[in-house]
Amino acid sequence: MQNINYLYNSQWESGLSTSIRTGVAHLLNSCPDITHMMITLADLPCVDEDSLGRLVEHSKLNKDAIVCSEFTNQRGVPAIFPVHYANALCNLTGDKGAKSIIASESAQKDRVIGVEHIEAGIDIDRPDDWERYRAHSST
């Protein structure tokens, strides 16, 4: 198993973008040979190693493109970004995540590859989301 680094984002109250910036800056400083970065969220209970592996396989075939999840007619994270998107990720502000970069780059042919990833569409943001998920997953 590779080393795992846990980072604390002291500016978390300023929005999701600060967590992305913290992670990307750490990767760029600690892994000078990095070629790609995966961004995901902690509140996606159905995303697992196999579903992330599908994104990795598509990224290997499309090295210069963003490879993102597609679910319920949306594109978003988990997504894999080539390192040349590091500046764009570090320039995010407020409570804006990587989805805005995916959306803006989607207008350009071959810059974004969407991969069906229905597991990414189950997002737990509030207690009632958790209760719905538990009720549905127990049946």
> Any idea where the domains of the chain sit in the sequence?
12-137
pLDDT at 1 over 70: no
The 10s digit of each residue's pLDDT in 2-50 is: 778 889 999 999 999 999 999 999 999 999 899 999 999 999 999 999 9
Beta-sheet pairing, 74-82 with 36-39? antiparallel
pLDDT more than 90, % of the chain: 77
Q: Which tokens in the block code for residue 63?
A: 């090295």
pLDDT band at 134 (very low <50, low <70, confident <90, very high): confident
pLDDT of residue 139: 61
Start-to-end CA span in the chain (Å): 35
What are the pLDDT digits (tens) for 26-38? 999 999 899 999 9
The answer to whether the pTM exceeds 0.95 is no
Is residue 66 scored above 60 in pLDDT?
yes
Q: Three-class SS of residue 128? A: helix
Residue 95 CB coordination number (10 Å): 11
Q: Which fold has domain 12-137?
A: Spore Coat Polysaccharide Biosynthesis Protein SpsA; Chain A (3.90.550)
